[in-house]
Chains A and B, each alone.
Chain A
Amino acid sequence: MIVIDVKNIHKTYQGVVPVHAVRGIDLTVKEGEFAAIVGPSGSGKTTFLNILGGLDTPTEGDIVVNNTNLSSLKASQLIDFRLHNIGFVFQAYNLIPVLTAQENVEFIMQLQGKSKQERSKRSVELLNAVGLSDKLNVRPGKLSGGQQQRVAVARALASKPKFILADEPTANLDSDSTSNLLSIMERLNKEENITFIFSTHDQRVVNKAHRVITIDDGKIVSDINNL
Chain B
Amino acid sequence: MNKLLTIAWRNLWRNKKRTLLTVSSIVFAILFAVIMRSQSLGMYENAIKNIINIETGHIQSMGKGFNESQSIDDAFFYVTALFSFLENNKAIEKSISRLSAFGMSSTGNYTKETFIMGMEVAKEGNTFARNITVGEMITDSSNSVLIGEVLAHYLKIIEYDTELELRLPNDSIIKKRIQNDTSNFTIGQTYEDKTIVFIAKKPRMVKDSIIIIGAGYQGASAAAIYHVAGIMKLPLPDMNKRIVVMNIKTCQDFLHAPGIISTVNIYLNDDSKLEQATADLKASVDMQKFDIYKWKTLKEELVQQIDSDNKSGLIFMFLLYLIIGFGILGTIIMMTHERKKEFAVMVALGLKKHLLIFTVTIENLFIALLGSLGGILISIPIIFYFYLNPIRMEEEMAKSIENMGWEAVIPFSTDVSIFVSQTIIVLILFAVASLYPLFKIKNFNVIASLRG
Contacts and interface: CB of A to CB of B under 8 A. Distances in A.
Interface in B1-27: 2-3, 6-7, 10-11, 14
A50 B447 contact: yes
Nearest to B3: A110
Given A94-B345, A97-B342, A107-B3, A159 B447 contact: no
Given A50-B447, A55-B446, A79-B353, A96 B348 contact: no
A82 interface: yes
Interface in B323-365: 341-342, 345-353, 355
9 contacts: A53-B348, A55-B447, A90-B450, A96-B342, A98-B6, A99-B3, A107-B3, A110-B2, A111-B349
Given A55-B447, A98-B10, A103 B348 contact: no
B3 A55 contact: no
Interface of A: 50, 53, 55-56, 76, 79-80, 82-84, 88, 90, 94, 96-99, 103, 106-108, 110-112, 155, 159
Of the candidates A50, A96, A108, the one having the most CB atoms from chain B within 10 angstroms of its own CB is A96
Contacts of B347: 79
Nearest to B347: A79
Nearest to A141: B14
A79 B351 contact: yes
A111 B349 CA distance: 9
B7 A55 contact: no
Contact of A82 (B342, B349, B353): B349
Contacts of A55: 348, 446-447, 450
Nearest to A156: B349
A98 B349 contact: no
B350 A84 contact: yes
B11 A80 contact: no
A88 B346 contact: no
Contacts of A82: 348-350
B367 to A, nearest CB: 15
Interface majority SS on A: helix, strand, loop or mixed? helix
A152 to B, nearest CB: 10
Interface majority SS on B: helix, strand, loop or mixed? helix
Given A80-B352, A82-B349, A111-B351, 7 more contacts: A56-B447, A79-B347, A96-B7, A103-B3, A106-B3, A107-B349, A108-B350
A103 to B, nearest CB: 7
B353 A76 contact: yes
B364 to A, nearest CB: 16
Of the candidates A98, A103, A107, the one having the most CB atoms from chain B within 10 angstroms of its own CB is A98
Nearest to B448: A56
Given A79-B347, A79-B351, A79-B352, A99 B446 contact: no
B217 to A, nearest CB: 86
Contacts of A56: 446-447
A83 B350 contact: yes
Given A50-B447, A96-B342, A96-B345, A76 B352 contact: yes
Of the candidates A76, A79, A99, A108, the one having the most CB atoms from chain B within 10 angstroms of its own CB is A79
A90 B14 CA distance: 22
Nearest to A103: B3
A79 B14 CA distance: 27
Contacts of B348: 53, 55, 82, 88
Nearest to A92: B341
Contacts of B342: 94, 96-97
A42 B389 CA distance: 75
Contacts of A99: 3, 6-7, 10
Contacts of A50: 447
A40 to B, nearest CB: 19
A98 B11 CA distance: 6
Contacts of A84: 350
